[in-house]
Chain A
């Protein structure tokens, strides 16, 4: 059965800290891995990763995929209170017509001033 597991489930840090969020997966016909940030409403897209070892960056956020280890990490440097959210990892698996998106349970990040 396809599954995506994130760790830790929750994390409390102080502003300025660096955090690393983990995502591991077991999926048939892997296609891509995506990271989302969810605040009070719907998830917003952060990164899509398809190739192993290539880091993607957006400001203070970066992410990398390791297909050999079936995992990905999301790094946030110099955290700010606005980074407080649930971070969702999702893995897309190929199916007959397109793909299926399997989500992990999320990591709840709380950044204290």
Chain B
């Protein structure tokens, strides 16, 4: 099993739906991240959780709501999304506190908003 898992792998939703993305890391890391990857754009950092506390959100719209119940699990709750929110959503984890930490990614959830 991979170190970072994400479910679902694909999601199609309407603009009025509410859905959640789930991420789980099995690496014993203490930090988790949500990234958005749109076509032809660099990865955009959305949220950072360090020791379960949110430390950065990069001005993400409120229609995206993260939840980190413990250091191994991370959720991204979605509601009233827009078509431009269609993208690949990647979860990552890392061990904070070490010089030059590396973030390890999950396979992503491909989201299509109709």
Of A45, A97, A103, which is within 8 A of B42 by CB? A103
Interface residues of A in 45-73 (CB under 8 A from B): 45, 48, 50
Q: Which residue of A lies closest to B30 (CB)?
A: A98
With a cutoff of 8 Å between Cβ atoms, the chain B residues found around residue A44 in the complex are 105
**Number of B residues, CB within 8 Å of A:** 25
In the assembled complex, the Cα of A50 lies from the Cα of B50 at a distance in Å of 22
Q: Do residues B99 and A50 form an inter-chain contact, with CB atoms below 8 A?
A: yes
Q: Do residues B102 and A42 form an inter-chain contact, with CB atoms below 8 A?
A: no
Count how many pairs of residues, one from A and one from B, have CB atoms less than 8 Å apart in the complex.
62
With a cutoff of 8 Å between Cβ atoms, the chain B residues found around residue A41 in the complex are 107-108
Flag whether B106 is at the interface (Cβ < 8 A): yes
Flag whether A100 is at the interface (Cβ < 8 A): yes
With a cutoff of 8 Å between Cβ atoms, the chain B residues found around residue A98 in the complex are 31, 48, 50, 55, 94, 96-97, 101
In the assembled complex, the Cα of A23 lies from the Cα of B113 at a distance in Å of 33
Against B, the Cβ 8 Å flags (1 = close, 0 = not) of A71-113 are: 0000000000000000010101001111111111110000000
With a cutoff of 8 Å between Cβ atoms, the chain B residues found around residue A104 in the complex are 42
Against A, the Cβ 8 Å flags (1 = close, 0 = not) of B58-97 are: 0000000000000000000000000000000010001011
Flag whether A27 is at the interface (Cβ < 8 A): no
With a cutoff of 8 Å between Cβ atoms, the chain A residues found around residue B42 in the complex are 4, 88, 102-106
List A residues at the B interface (Cβ < 8 Å). Answer: 4, 31-32, 34, 41-45, 48, 50, 88, 90, 92, 95-106
